[in-house]
Structure 1
Amino acid sequence: MRSLVGFLAGLLFGIGLVVSGMADPAKVLDFLDLFGTWDPSLAFVMGGAVLVTFLGFRLVLRRRAPVLMERFDLPGTRLVDGRLLTGAVVFGVGWGLGGFCPGPAITALPLMAPGTLVFVPMMILGLWAGVKVREARAATGAALPGR
């Protein structure tokens, strides 16, 4: 049942990305181009997402436990550290350069656009490299940045 609900939620999310234009890197780059062909429409998409998330969290967290799990899986800290800031910068720069963030990039794969076909493998390579760096640091006992 959890897999079916997860699939349906992912499908709804993907459809929302396509309908909102988030799967079109040109639209995203136009949103980021404040002094050129600025397109403010994605601000409404983001505003709607923030509003739905804010209200959804308020409603859901009133429950003692999620419907399909034993407990909520929430972050254990609210600390803003070097790792969080570095990740945010890397994410933002990648989004600005490529016009994609991971969800819309995967959603846009069936379109077979050349930019997507380069971005997604490089994203996967970056994720793999991050895991390998973390494993290497853990094996040598080296501290991770921000810790």
Structure 2
Amino acid sequence: MNRNICQFGAALASGIVFGFGLSLSGMLNPARVQGFLEVFGTWDPSLAFVLGGAVVVAFIGVQVMKLMRHPAFDDTFHVPTIRRIDAPLVIGSAVFGLGWGIGGFCPGPAVASLALGLPQTVLFVVAMLVGMTLHDRLWSRGT
């Protein structure tokens, strides 16, 4: 079978499982995320369990990756090599966190929430795509 078709199929299956998990856990509801961030009000701890589960799955995945010589559908693993914490990383993390707190979405759940057809979700995703495009165009000029 063609390697590209296998890669596409694996990516599609992963995305479907991810989206189903987000839906099942209630993370497509921005109020759930904002409730988690509201530590001095009516705090909703459910996101902590979702994040904890994600850390466990990622940890297991990294351990399995270390035992493999190469991934199933590629010649090498593509892992970050830069471990430096610099200003762009800190600023980008802060902007991501602000957007996450204000909008109640991060990119994956925002895209999955488009299936709900809510106007605020469409607005968030459009704004996210505009921001990504601006960043790519401005950042590539500066480097």
Please, which of 88, 91, 96 is the counterpart of residue 93 of structure 2? 88
Aligned residue for 2:43?
38
Match of 2:3 in 1: none
Q: Work out the CA distance in 1 between the residues paired with 2:122 and 2:71.
A: 37
Q: CA deviation at 1:35?
A: 1.3
State the distance in 1 between where 2:61 and 2:77 align: 14
Q: Distance between the aligned counterparts of 2:133 and 2:10, measured in 1?
A: 27
Task: Give the 3-state SS of the residue equivalent to 1:61 in structure 2.
Answer: helix
- Unaligned runs of at least 5 residues, structure 2: 1-5
Work out the CA distance in 1 between the residues paired with 2:29 and 2:13: 22
Give the count of matched residue pairs. Answer: 138
Matched residue, 1:16: 21
- Specify the code of the residue in structure 2 equivalent to 1:25: P
Is 2:127 the partner of 1:122? yes
Q: CA deviation at 1:23?
A: 1.0
Q: CA RMSD in A?
A: 0.9
* Equivalent of residue 27 in structure 1, options 29, 32, 35: 32
Separation in structure 2 between the aligned mates of residue 92 and residue 72 of structure 1, nearest angstrom: 28
Q: Take 2:76 and 2:31, find their aligned partners in 1: how far apart are those partners?
A: 40
- Name stretches of at least 5 consecutive residues in structure 1 with no aligned partner: 139-147
Matching residue within 71, 74, 88 for 2:76: 71
Identity of aligned residues (%): 44
TM-score by length of 1: 0.90
What's the secondary structure of 2:139's corresponding residue? helix
Match for residue 103 of structure 2 among 89, 98, 101: 98
Tell me the SS of whatever aligns to 2:32: helix
Higher helix share: 2
SS in 2 for 1:68: coil
SS at match of 2:67: coil
Give 2:7's aligned amino acid: R
String of CA shifts for 1:25-84, please: whole Å, max 9, x gaps: 011111111111210011011001101111111112211111110000011111111111
Structure 1 residue ranges, 4+ long, deviating more than 2 angstroms after superposition:
none
